Structure 1
Amino acid sequence: MTEIAASDGTKLAVHSVGSGPPVLLVHGITESSQTWDPVAGRLSTTNEVIRVDLRGHGNSQHNAPYDLATMAGDLAVVVDQTCDVAPRLIGHSLGGVVVSALAGVVAVHSVVNVDQSLRLDQFQAQLQAVAPMLRDPDSFPLVLSALFDDLAGSALTEEERARIEAARNADQEVVLGIWQAVIESEPADLRALVDATAASVTAPYLSLFGIDPGDDYADWMSNRVPTATVELWPDLGHYPHLVEPDRFVARVHEFWNSI
């Protein structure tokens, strides 16, 4: 592990393995770079795999703010210091949003977004309904546990579920900082933020879901990111890349080879 200082001095934990074209893996909310272990090991046979603990996660420093622009800016610094060529981005959950934003501010080879809809306005009502419980220190862990259990689904093995949970650290300040814009923004403002983020993406983009994002999502996405392909692997839940890592890595290579 190495440490890279973000533009505000926040120390970010960065892990690198393998050699070849660089791939940047970005984890989901409350998780860490360790969540990617099964995928990182497979990709490292052909690529340099760079994993970052987002600020407030894993071994990175806890230092507000935790908004999307700040996190994308953090990763832009990491890319500048670790990649000699445009990296291939892969993000899961929150990481899918962050790499989408990153693709609008640095040159990238491609983007793979794993099970993260960019229609954040559809997530807004769900978060607003539980916001009082998220702000309560006693109910906060219970709400998150229920949410993550529901997302994970039944396809993950118990062993893999336990491994993910071991990499999880739910810090209330961090979670609320990340979700603040979704909870507090006016719907029109949130849609405008999403549209601006999506409009800045010009790289080839694969959006791969284990949970159905809705029949109209592919059209919604292509209207905002013309380079996007939306693909559903039914019934695999929120972690399709960990339920079927061999299939996932093969699909990623197929996507890269098509560019």
Structure 2
Amino acid sequence: MTGTPDTAAPLVLAHDISGSGPLLVLIHGITENRAAWDPIDLTTDFEVLRVDVRGHGESPVEEPFDPLTLAADVHATVEAIRPGAVPIIVGHSMGGIIATAYGSRYPVRAVINVDQALALGDMQAQVKKMEPLLKSPLFPVLVGQVFRSMRGVLPAEQNTRLKKLRRPRREVVLGVWAPMLTQTPEELAKTVDETVAIPDDVPYLVIAGLDPGAEYVEWLRGRVPSVTYEVWEKTHYPHLVEPERFVARVKGFATASGE
């Protein structure tokens, strides 16, 4: 998440694709992989492309890990599979930042961000406090604590499933969080502005579980006027707590967006 990604060669990511209909891309969260989406079946209404983000799953571990580079990887994968396709992009957690960056740079039908706040300046002090532990042998313990703090009402079976598929890589986590660790507040604000440059005519849905509050929503509306903001169950994984509701909401939002 540092620097300008234009010099990084985009990767065609490890992926799977199934279903029929408009192309819809699913992007997972940090330390996870495309299997995180297993309980979500959108294949009846969409051709669903699930990717392993750079540094995750079966995709290569290659720097850099800034959001525009990660979005470029997703776009390269879309172009390799369905040249010229204009997809719906859905991202959870880190994937929500990547989905937003994709919508800021490439043609999309709509963007859906699942529980990822984009005001990274608000997170900067917290992440900097964790830096010594991130770089210590306690890194796996810290990652586990972070996920436990966000579990909320996630059912035990889903929590166990996610724990088994997570593969924390220190260099990837540090790379994804690099702007908050290395940039000044002014530099980080510029990074955020580049990432959250959604065109006014692109439908943008946020499904929040851990709601950052009214002040954040006001901040987001000032940058993405098209945003629809919803608060669901109190967890970082609202889509896994209510998968049927999530599938119906994605379908409804896509239909309202012109699908």
Work out the CA distance in 2 between the residues paired with 1:149 and 1:185: 27
Q: For this pair of structures, how many residues does the alignment match?
A: 248
Give unpaired runs (5+ residues) of structure 2.
1-7
TM-score (ref. length: structure 1)? 0.92
Match of 2:245 in 1: 247
Match of 1:229 in 2: 228
Instruction: Give, as a single letter, the amino acid of the residue that structure 2 aligns with 1:159.
Output: E
Whether the 8 Å contact between 1:11 and 1:61 is mirrored in structure 2 is no
Identity of aligned residues (%): 42
RMSD: 1.4
Work out the CA distance in 1 between the residues paired with 2:10 and 2:193: 30
Give unpaired runs (5+ residues) of structure 1.
1-6
Whether the 8 Å contact between 1:103 and 1:111 is mirrored in structure 2 is yes
Q: Where do residues 107-118 of structure 1 align in structure 2 (5 Å cutoff)?
A: 107-118=107-118
Q: Does 1:27 align with 2:28?
A: yes
Whether the 8 Å contact between 1:100 and 1:201 is mirrored in structure 2 is no
Deviation at 1:201, TM superposition (A): 3.7
The SS at the match of 1:12 is coil
Structure 1 residues 120 and 229: CA distance shift in structure 2, 3 A: same
Instruction: Give, as a single letter, the amino acid of the residue that structure 2 aligns with 1:23.
Output: L
Match of 1:61 in 2: 60
Structure 1 residues 11 and 200: CA distance shift in structure 2, 3 A: closer
After TM superposition, the structure 1 stretch with the greater mean CA deviation from structure 2, 51-60 or 201-210, is: 201-210
Work out the CA distance in 1 between the residues paired with 2:227 and 2:220: 7
Match of 1:133 in 2: 133
Match of 2:212 in 1: 213
Deviation at 1:9, TM superposition (A): 6.8
Whether the 8 Å contact between 1:212 and 1:234 is mirrored in structure 2 is no
Match of 2:150 in 1: 151
Match of 1:12 in 2: 13
Instruction: Give, as a single letter, the amino acid of the residue that structure 2 aligns with 1:28.
Output: G
Work out the CA distance in 2 between the residues paired with 1:11 and 1:233: 33
TM-score (ref. length: structure 2)? 0.92
The SS at the match of 2:44 is coil
Whether the 8 Å contact between 2:12 and 2:80 is mirrored in structure 1 is no
Deviation at 1:76, TM superposition (A): 1.4
The SS at the match of 1:43 is coil
Whether the 8 Å contact between 2:79 and 2:85 is mirrored in structure 1 is no
